[in-house]
Structure 1
Amino acid sequence: MMGKEVMESNGFNRKLSAILSADVKGYSRLMRSDEEATVRTLIQYRNIISELVEEYQGRIVDDPGDNILAEFTSVVHAVQCGFEIQTTLESENAKRDENRRMEFRIGIHLGDVIQDGERIYGDGVNVAARMESMAEPGGICASGSVYDQVEDKISFGCEFLGERTVKNISTPIRVYRISRDETGPGCRAGTSSRSGSKPLLLAAAICLLILVIGGVGVWSIYLSPASGRIDAASIEDMAYPLPEKPSIAVLPFKNLSENENDALIAKGLTEDIITALARVPELFVIASASSFAYAGKSVTTRQVSEELGVRYLLDGSVQRSKDRLRFTVQLVDAVGGNQIWADRFDRTAEDLFVLQDDLVRRILVELQVKLTTGEFARIASRKTQSLDAWILFGQGVHEGFTFTREGMASARTLFEAAREKDPNWARPLVGLSWVYWWEARQGWVANHNEWIQKGQKLAETAVEWAPEEPGGYQMLGMLALSKGDHAQALAYREKALDLAPNDFLVNWGLGGVLYKAGDPERAVIVLQKAERLNPHHPISLVWTIAEAQLMAGQYEDAINSSNRAIVRNPDAVFPHIILTAAYSAADRIKEAKTEAENILRLNPKFNVSAWMKTRLLKYPADTEKISNLLIQAGLPENPSEKTEKAGK
C-alpha cells in the first residue's frame, strides 16, 4: 500500500500522499479540429506519462478523458516526475504543428487522502486539482506543503503566487509556480535553507501589518471592522440575473497619494484590466463606466454585487513611497462572502505594465479561465512600453468623452502628444480617427469629406499595426456607415466583437449597425447585452434599443424603452421621436399626436425628411415606413410645411 495508512472506524484507509493532477489545455478545441488525431495524440501522451509515473515509483489512480491523476509515496519523486513529463512532452510537441500541440498543466499537492480500493478521495485530491487549474500550459504549480518538503532536497526554479482559497478548506493554500529552470523569478529552492517557521511567521506578520496600515483605504470598503467578514450578496436580490459565466466588476483603483499623476495611473490601470478581461469570451465583464460610477463612494461588496449583478469584485489602491508605487489588490467572491486573494506589490512606475499583466493572469486563474500563452498575450496586449504615452492617451479619452467641441480639441492635442511619445503605438491613431469622425459628424468642419478621409487613413494604419485590437475596426465600421457602406460597416464591427466579446462599446457599435442594415431582431439582442454589460449605461443606449425594437416591429417594447429614456431626460428629443413612431405603428394615434406636439415644443424646426437622413437606413422601404408613421402623427415632412399640422 502507498503512504502511511491509518484505519478509520468507518472502514476507510487514511494516508498522506503526494498527488499529481494533470489535464490538457484546449482539449475541446483540439477535438473540434480533428477528433481522431487528438485521440491518437492523447493515447500516446498518456502512455508516456504512465511510464514516467511508474519510473518514479508512482501509480496512475484515474485517467478519465483528458485528465490524469497519479499518486506517489515520495513528494520528491512526484515533483521530479512532473518535471520529466513536461520536458518529454515539450520535445514531442516540437515535432508537431503549433495548432496540433497538446500541452498539459500539472498540479502537485502533499496531503491527506482517503483510499477506497484503488481510488483515492478527499481534500488532498481537490487541492492538487486546484493547483493544476492555476498552472500554465506546459507548466507546474505546487502547494506550500510540496514546497516545504522539497526546497532543500532538489534544485528548481520557483515563483511564489500568493495564497489561494480552496473550496471546503478554511485555511488558504500557498501556491508556487515551479520549473527546472533555476534562473526563473522569485524564490529558488536549493539556495536557501529552512530555519524553522519563526522567520516565516514574522514576515507574514510584517506583511499583514503593512496591509492593514497601507491598505486600510481598500479593505474597509468591503470588510466589516467588527467582524472582518464580508456580507454575502443575495442572488435573489440582484438587479439583473447572474450570468452563467464567471462575472466580474473591476472597481476603480484608489489613489492614496496626493500626486495627480498617480491618480492617472490608478485610473489607467483599472481601464486596462477591464479592457483585457473584456476580450475573454469565457467571462462576463462589467463596463468601466459602471465601475467608475462607484469612484469615491462608500459602498459594500453586497451593494455593488447586487446592483451590477456580478459574483466577483476586484478592488485596489495605489500609494506612492518616494520613487516606488505600492499597489494593494483583492479579489472577492461577493456571493460566497469571502475574499479569494489579497496581495501587495511594490513597483516602480516603469514596472506597471508587468504588474497589470500579472493581475489579469491571476484573475483568470482564480476564475478558472484557461488560456494558451498566445491567447493571453493577445488579450493583455497594449503594444506600448511608454508610460507617458499611455497616460496621455487615457487623458485624451477622458477629454473626448465630454463630446464637446472644446473637449475634442483637447483630446486631439493629447492623442498627438501620445503619438509623439510612442510613434509606433496604434491606440493614439484610433483616438485621432475618432476625433476626426466626430468633428465631421457634428458639422464642426468646413470639409466633411477631408476629415472622414483623414479618419479613415488613421484607422487603417491602426489595424495594420495592431490587428488584434478592436479599436481600429470599430472606427472603420463608423466611417463605413457614415459613407453608407453597410456591408463594410458590419464586417468591421463583427471583427471587433470577435476580438472583444464583452466590450460594452463594441456590442453597442455592432447593434447600432445591425438594425440600420436590415437585421433589427439581432440588433435588439446585441444592444440588450450592451445594456447588461453596463448597468449605468448612458441614456442614448436606451433610445438606440427603442429604435431597434421599432424597426423589429416590437412596438410595445419600443414604447416601454422610449418611456424609460424620457423618464431619465424628459427634454431629450430622440426618445420622443421613437415613441411617436411606435404609438403610430401600434394604432395609438391619439398618443402619437400628443408626442408629436412634444417634439415640436422641444424642437420647433423638426421635420421628418431631415431627421430620416440622419438615420442612415440601408433599405428605402424602412425609411419610408418610419417616415409615414411620423407623418401620420402630424409631424411635418419638410421644413416648409406649417408646424400647426401636428395639432390637427
Structure 2
Amino acid sequence: RVGINVGDIIIDESDIFGDGVNVAARLEALAQPGGICVSRMVRDQVRDKLDLVFEDMGEQQVKNIARPVRAYRVLTEAGVRIVATPAPGRRRRVLRRVIAAGAAALVLLAIGAAAFWRLHSPSLAPTAAGAPAAPPALPDKPSIAVLPFANLSGDPAQDYLADGLTDNLVDALAQNPGLFVIARDATLDYRGKVVAPRAAAKDLGVRYVLEGRVQKSGDRIRVTAQVIDAVNDNPVLSQKYDRNLTDLFALEDDLSLQIAGALDAQLRGGTIARALAHGTRNLEAWESLVKATQTYFRFNPADASEAQKLAQRAADLDPNYVAAWQFLAFTYFDEADLGWAQDRIAALKHARQLDDKVLKLDPESAGPYWLRARLELQPDLPEYDPEAALADARKSVELGPNDDPGHWTLGLVHFQLGHFDEAAAEFANTLRLNPHPYIWESGLHAVALSATGHYKEAIAEIEGASAAQPKNPLGLGFHGRIEAFAGKYAKAAGWFERARDVDPASSQNALFLAEVYDQLGRVDEAIKVLESGPPQWRSVPRVRLWLGLSYALGGRKENAAAEFAAFRALAPRWTLSTTKRFWARYYTPQFSDRIAALSREYGIPDK
C-alpha cells in the first residue's frame, strides 16, 4: 500500500514528524492492497498534468487527525498494482518514510509511481525461455491472463492458497471456448514482482488482466480480484469476498462466472461448470493437490516421489477428484519419460490405468487425451499407435483449445511422424498460449522451423531461448538438432558432445550424438557412446535400435542381430512407416536409404 500527501514536515535527524506525515500514514492504511491512495491536495496538484484517474473515496475520519481527510484512489496504470507480498523489514520502513514526506511525495507522483516502484523492485526481465521480442497480436475473441494472486497473509506457508486459487481460475476460464486464456506457466515470471497490468497485457498479447490478493486469518479468507481492460486501462470487474475457508470453492465458482460475464464471453454447454466439476469440495484434498504440484515442479526424483504421495492422498480423500487422478497419471508418465522410474514399463502402464480412470470420470476432459497420445507414442507399450496418438491429440485440442500441453502434444506427434509443417504450426500455437515458454517448448518449435527450411529463424529462436541457460543440456541438444536438419552434421556433433558432457546420464543426448556420428562415418565412436551408458539404457527401445544399426554399419553382424532382436522384443509394433519420413528429412538421402535397408534386413517391417 502507498499513501501520498502534501504538507509541512519536521525533520529531526533521521526521522520526520508533522500532520502531513500522519495524513500520509492514514492514507496508506486506506489504500487497497497493492494500491495507492492520495489526499485531495495531491489530486488537485496533478489532475490536469498527468493522465490519471482518481476514484473519490469521500471524507475519511482517521485517527489522530482533527478534521476528516478527503481521500482518492489512483486507478490508472501509474497506480501500479503489487502482485506479491511487499518485502519485509528495513526496506519497507524506509520506503514508507520516503513516501510520507510531502515534497518528495508530490515529486513521486509527478514522475509516475510506476517508475518509482520499478526503482525499488526486482527486475521484471523475463526469466523463461524464448519470450517473444515483439508483443503478439490480440486474438479475435476476449483474451485474458490471470496474474499470480498475492499472498497477503504474511506467512509464506500460505502461498499455496494464492497459487491454488490462481491455477483453479486459469483452469476454469480455459474451458470456455469463447475466451482466449494465457497458460498459467506464462505468468509465473510475474510471481513476486511488481507489474503494471498494461505492461503485462502487452507482454502476453491479451486485452484483459486479472489480478488479485488472498489473505487468510484463522478459518476466514479474504479475496480481492480485479479485471483490467489494458486497452483503456479501466477496471471492468472488481470484487471483494470475505468468506469462511470452507467456502473457497463457491467463491471460485462465483468469480469465474462473473469474469466470463464481464468479458461478454458466451458460456456454451456449461463449460465453466464442467471445469469446476474437475475440482473438489474437500478442502483437505485440494490443499494436498496444490502442495503436490508445487513439490513436483522442483524437477528431481525425490520431490517427484513426495508429490505422488500428496496427489494420491488428495485422490484418496475425494475419489471423484478428476484433477488429482489426472496429475497423478502425468507424474507416472513423466518419471518414465525422464528416466527417473526404477521400472519404466510399470510406470507407463500405471499412468495408462490412471488416465483411463480420468476418462471414465470425465470423458470431456482434454488432459487425459493428450496424455493418452503421449503414451501411444511409446514403442515399448502394447498401445503403441502413432495414428491413434494423432487422433487423441487432436481430440485434446478440440476439447481444450486453451490447453497448451494439448497443442504441444499434437505438435510432437506430427513431428515424430515427419509432418514438420503441421508440427511447427502447433508448436507456434503453444507459444502463443504461453508467451514465456519452457525451453523444451520453444526449442522444439525451433527444431521444427529448421526442419521446414527456416534455419535462420530457428537459430534466432534457440539462441533467445537458451540465452539465460547457455549450459542447459536441452538447449544444447536442440541446437544440435537444428544443425542436423540443416545438413550441418559436424556442427551438430559439437553441440551434442557438449550436451553429453553436461548430462552424461541422458540416453537422449547419447542417441543424438551416436546418430550424427554414424551419418559422419564415425561408426566406432557411435558404438562407444551407446555401449558406455548405464544399465538402464538397455531398456530404452531407441538405444537398442540405434546400437543395432551402428553395429550393422560397422559390419558386426552378430552384435547387430542381438540388438535388433532386443529392440523387437521391447517394441514389437514398431515399423519403418513410423519413422521413414523423419529419417528422410533428418539425414542425407543415401544414409536414410541405407539405415532403412539395414532395418529391413534385421527384421523390421515396413508396415
Per-residue deviation, 1:307: 1.7
Mapped contact 2:477–2:496 kept (Cα < 8 A): yes
Is structure 2 residue 216 aligned with structure 1 residue 316? no
**Counterpart pick for 1:613 among 524, 542, 551:** 542
Alpha-carbon distance between aligned partners in 2 of 1:442 and 1:572, rounded to the nearest angstrom: 15
Pick one of 81, 89, 98 that aligns with 1:221. 81
CA change 1:394–1:585 in 2 (3 A) is closer
Counterpart-to-counterpart distance in 1, 2:355 and 2:468 = 34
Give, as a single letter, the amino acid of the residue that structure 2 aligns with 1:607.
A
| CA distance in 1 between partners of 2:238 and 2:579 (Å) | 58
The answer to which structure has the higher strand fraction is 1
Match of 1:603 in 2: 500
Q: Which residue of structure 2 aligns with residue 365 of structure 1?
A: 261
Aligned to 2:299: 403
TM-score (normalizing by structure 1): 0.58
Determine if contact 2:483/2:491 at 8 Å carries over to the other structure.
no
SS of alignment partner, residue 135 of structure 2: coil
* TM-superposed deviation, 1:372: 4.3
Q: For residue 13 of structure 2, what is the aligned residue in structure 1? A: none
Q: Distance in 2 between matches of 1:630 and 1:408?
A: 43
Letter in 1 for 2:304: M
Which residue does the alignment assign to 1:18? none
Give the residue type in structure 2 aligned to 1:506: G
SS in 1 for 2:239: strand
What is the CA distance between 1:585 and its match in structure 2? 5.0
Distance in structure 2 (CA, Å) of the matches to 1:326 and 1:578: 45
User: 2:209 aligns to what SS in structure 1?
Assistant: strand
Residue 514, structure 1, aligned to residue 374, structure 2? no
Residue 502 of structure 1: aligned partner: 402
1:574 CA displacement: 4.6
**Whole-Å Cα distance in 2 between the matches of residues 570 and 537 of structure 1?**
16
* Partners of 1:618 and 1:607 in 2: CA distance: 22
- Deviation track 1:229-276 (CA, whole Å, cap 9, x = no partner) reads 999xxxxx9622222222211111111113455421211111111111
Pairing 1:352–2:311 present: no
Q: Which has the higher contact order (CA 8 A, sep 6+)?
A: 2
Report 1:573-588 matches (<5 A): 573-580=473-480, 582-583=482-483, 586=486
The amino acid across from 1:596 in the alignment is A
Change (3 A) 1:376 1:438: closer
Give me the whole-angstrom Cα distance separating, in 2, the residues matched to 1:573 and 1:630: 29
Q: Is this contact kept in 2: 1:230–1:337, CA < 8 A?
A: no
Aligned amino acid, residue 501 of structure 1: P
Relative to structure 1, the CA distance from residue 563 to residue 625 in structure 2 (aligned partners, 3 Å threshold; closer, same or farther) is farther
1:628 paired to 2:583: no
State the partner residue of 2:94.
none
Return the offset for 1:631. 11
Secondary structure of the structure 2 residue equivalent to 1:607: helix
Alpha-carbon contact 2:175-2:272 (below 8 Å) kept = no
For 1:464-514, what per-residue CA distance to the aligned partner results, in whole angstroms no more than 9, with x for missing partners? 012222222232222111143112222222222122111222221221122
What secondary structure, in the 3-state scheme, does the structure 1 residue paired with 2:226 have? strand
Give the aligned residue type for 1:628: Y
Compared CA separation, residues 284 and 460, structure 1 to 2 (3 A) = same
Instruction: Judge conservation of contact 2:185–2:436 (CA < 8 Å) in 1.
Output: yes
Shift of 1:552: 3.6
Structure 2 residue aligned with 1:188: none
Give the CA deviation at 1:418: 0.6
> In the TM superposition, what is the alpha-carbon distance from 1:583 to its structure 2 partner?
4.0
CA shift digits 1:598-626 (9 cap, x unpaired): 32244265311869938999633234335
- Alpha-carbon distance in 1 for matches of 2:286, 2:584: 47
CA gap of 1:395–1:541, structure 2 versus 1, over 3 A, is same
User: Given residue 247 of structure 1, which amino acid in structure 2 is its aligned partner?
Assistant: S
Residue of structure 2 equivalent to 1:535: 435
Matched to 1:280, the amino acid is N
1:420 corresponds, among 289, 298, 316, to: 316
Q: 1:472 to 1:297 in 2, by over 3 A?
A: same
Q: What is residue 473 of structure 1 aligned with on the other side? A: 369
* C-alpha distance after superposition, 1:566-597 (max 9, x if no partner): 4343334455555445445546x4xx423422
Determine the structure 2 residue equivalent to 1:449: 345
Inter-partner Cα distance in structure 1 for 2:235 and 2:113 = 8
Structure-1 separation of matches of 2:473 and 2:158? 40
Partners in 2 of 1:302 and 1:493 — Cα distance?
Answer: 34
Q: What SS is found at the alignment partner of 1:297?
A: coil
Stretch deviating more after TM superposition (269-278 or 572-581): 572-581
Secondary structure of the 2:413 match is: helix
- Percent identical among aligned pairs is 29
Alignment of 1:556-571 (within 5 A): 556-571=456-471
Q: Closer, same or farther in 2 for the Cα pair 1:431/1:321, shift >3 Å?
A: closer
2:551: which partner in 1?
none
User: What TM-score does the superposition give when structure 2 sets the normalisation length?
Assistant: 0.62
Give ranges in structure 1 of 5+ residues lacking alignment.
1-169, 173-199, 232-236, 638-648
Distance (whole Å) between structure 2 residues aligned to residue 334 and residue 443 of structure 1: 44
Deviation at 1:312, TM superposition (A): 0.8
Provide the C-alpha distance between the structure 2 equivalents of 1:618 and 1:355, rounded to a whole number of angstroms.
Answer: 52
Segments of 5+ residues of structure 2 without an aligned counterpart are 1-52, 63-68, 84-104, 115-132, 502-509, 516-525, 531-539, 547-573, 597-607
Secondary structure, in 3 states, of the residue corresponding to 1:354? helix
